[in-house]
C-alpha cells in the first residue's frame, strides 16, 4: 500500500515536470550522458504523454535546483548505455527506492537492491540497468565542485551504500523534501540548496570510501600545506615535486595523488600560479620600469620565449598587451 501511495503521489504532485515515456516494456538508449539519454525520449515525441504511470512503460520527471539536476524514474525495466561527455561532467547519486539495478563503469560494476544508493560519474561512459518494477531518483551535481571539496571522491564511485539510516538516509530525506517543494525553491534559494545537496553528496563520499572522516580531513589539510609551500617558493626556478614532497614530509607519489582531483598535474598548477603572479605584476604601474623578461625570471621562469608563448595561451593576450591594458587603466596623476 505504501508503494502504491508513493507512486500515486509521484504521479499527481508534479505538474510542473515533464513526463518522458518510452515505448514497450524495456528500453535501451545510447546517449552522451545519463540525463540526456532520458531526455531523448522526450525529444522523440513524449512531451504530451500523461503524467500517470503506465505499467510497463518507463517514465522520468526532471527538474533543476540551481546547478543541481533532479530526476525521478519509474517503470518495469530500463537499460541505458551512455557515451559520456567532458563538456559538463557530473557526479550522480542513484537512489533506488524499489526494484533492482546494475551499474557498470570504468571496469567496475555494482548491483543495488531496494533502498540502496551509489555514486557514478555521468561524464564518463556507463551502463545502467533497472528492473523489477523499479522506482528511482537521480541527483546530478557538477563534478568539479565535488572534486574540489572532497579529494577522495573517485574512491567512492560505484560503491553500494545502504540507504536505510545514517548519512544516506538524511540525503534521501533531503532530496525527497526538495523535490516536493521545488516550485518554491527557484532562484537564489535554489542555488543555496544546491550547495546543501553538494555537501550532502560529499558526506556520501566520506561514508562510501572505506576510511573514516578524519582521513578525509587529513587529506584536505595535506593538500592545503602543499599549496602553501608552493606559493612560498614560486620564485624558485628549481621548485620540483621532489622538493615539495621533502618540505611537507611526504613522498612524490603521495603529492601526485593529492592533486589528482585538480584536473591538472601539480607542476602544471605551479606553472599556472606563476603566470597569474606575472599577470598581476604586469598590471601594476610600480613595475612599469621592469622588463617583461625580468618579471618572468623573478617568478621562476627561465626562458622568456617559452614564457611569452605560455602567457598568450593562458590569457589570450601577450605580456606586452597585458601591460598596456594595465597602464591604460591606471588613473591619470594630476600635478598641481
266-304 pLDDT, tens digit each: 999 999 999 999 999 998 888 889 999 999 999 999 999
* Residue 198 placed within a domain: yes
* Residue 110 placed within a domain: yes
How far apart, in whole angstroms, are the C-alpha atoms of residue 312 and residue 186?
40
Segments forming the whole domain that contains residue 315: 216-328
**CA 112 remoteness from chain centre:** 23
pLDDT of residue 210: 64
CB 210 within 8 A of CB 274: no
225 and 164 assigned to the same domain: no
104 and 32 assigned to the same domain: yes
197 and 236 assigned to the same domain: no
**CA 49 remoteness from chain centre:** 32
pLDDT of residue 206: 81
CB 68 within 8 A of CB 141: yes
160 and 253 assigned to the same domain: no
How far apart, in whole angstroms, are the C-alpha atoms of residue 69 and residue 92?
9
From 151, 176, 210, the end of a domain falls on 210
How far apart, in whole angstroms, are the C-alpha atoms of residue 279 and residue 288?
12
pLDDT of residue 48: 28
What CATH number does the domain containing 151 carry?
A: 2.60.120.10
CB 267 within 8 A of CB 308: no
35 and 63 assigned to the same domain: yes
Task: Estimate the crossing angle of helix 241-248 against helix 266-283, to 10 degrees.
Answer: 100
Number of domain units in the chain: 2
Neighbours of 148 (CB within 10 A): 14
CB 105 within 8 A of CB 78: no
Instruction: List Cβ neighbours of 135 (8 Å cut-off, separation of 6 or more).
Output: 3, 6, 7, 10, 72, 73, 74, 96, 97, 98, 99
Low-confidence ranges of the chain (pLDDT < 50): 1-29, 41-55, 211-212, 332-336
How far apart, in whole angstroms, are the C-alpha atoms of residue 167 and residue 171?
6
* Residue 206 placed within a domain: yes
How big is the chain by its Cα radius of gyration, in Å? 25
pLDDT of residue 250: 85
Amino acid at each position: 500500500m505504501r508503494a502504491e501511495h508513493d507512486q500515486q503521489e509521484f504521479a499527481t504532485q508534479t505538474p510542473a515536470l515533464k513526463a518522458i515515456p518510452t515505448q514497450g516494456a524495456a528500453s535501451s538508449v545510447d546517449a552522451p550522458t545519463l540525463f540526456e539519454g532520458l531526455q531523448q525520449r522526450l525529444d522523440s515525441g513524449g512531451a504530451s504523454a500523461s503524467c500517470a504511470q503506465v505499467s510497463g512503460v518507463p517514465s522520468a520527471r526532471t527538474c533543476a535546483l540551481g546547478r543541481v539536476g533532479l530526476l525521478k524514474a519509474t517503470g518495469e525495466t530500463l537499460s541505458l548505455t551512455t557515451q559520456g561527455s567532458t563538456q559538463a561532467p557530473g557526479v550522480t547519486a542513484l537512489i533506488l527506492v524499489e526494484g533492482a539495478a546494475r551499474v557498470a563503469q570504468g571496469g567496475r560494476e555494482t548491483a543495488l537492491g531496494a533502498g540502496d544508493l551509489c555514486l557514478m560519474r555521468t561524464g564518463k561512459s556507463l551502463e545502467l540497468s533497472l528492473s523489477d518494477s523499479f522506482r528511482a531518483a537521480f541527483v546530478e551535481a557538477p563534478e568539479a565542485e565535488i572534486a574540489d571539496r572532497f579529494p577522495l571522491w573517485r574512491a567512492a564511485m560505484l560503491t553500494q551504500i545502504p540507504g536505510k539510516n545514517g548519512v544516506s538516509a538524511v540525503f534521501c530525506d533531503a532530496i525527497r523534501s526538495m523535490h516536493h517543494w521545488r516550485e518554491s525553491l527557484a532562484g537564489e534559494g535554489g542555488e543555496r540548496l544546491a550547495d546543501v545537496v553538494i555537501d550532502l553528496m560529499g558526506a556520501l563520499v566520506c561514508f562510501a570510501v572505506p576510511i573514516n572522516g578524519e582521513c578525509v580531513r587529513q587529506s584536505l589539510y595535506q593538500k592545503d600545506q602543499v599549496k602553501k609551500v608552493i606559493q612560498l617558493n614560486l620564485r624558485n626556478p628549481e621548485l620540483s615535486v621532489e622538493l615539495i614532497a621533502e618540505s611537507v614530509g611526504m613522498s612524490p607519489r603521495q603529492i601526485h595523488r593529492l592533486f589528482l582531483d585538480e584536473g591538472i598535474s601539480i607542476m602544471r598548477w605551479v606553472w599556472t600560479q606563476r603566470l597569474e603572479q606575472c599577470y598581476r605584476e604586469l598590471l601594476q604601474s610600480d613595475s612599469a620600469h621592469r622588463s617583461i623578461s625580468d618579471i618572468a625570471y623573478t617568478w621562476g621562469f627561465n626562458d622568456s620565449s617559452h614564457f611569452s608563448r605560455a602567457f598568450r595561451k593562458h590569457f589570450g593576450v601577450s605580456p606586452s598587451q597585458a601591460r598596456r591594458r594595465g597602464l591604460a587603466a591606471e588613473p591619470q596623476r594630476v600635478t598641481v
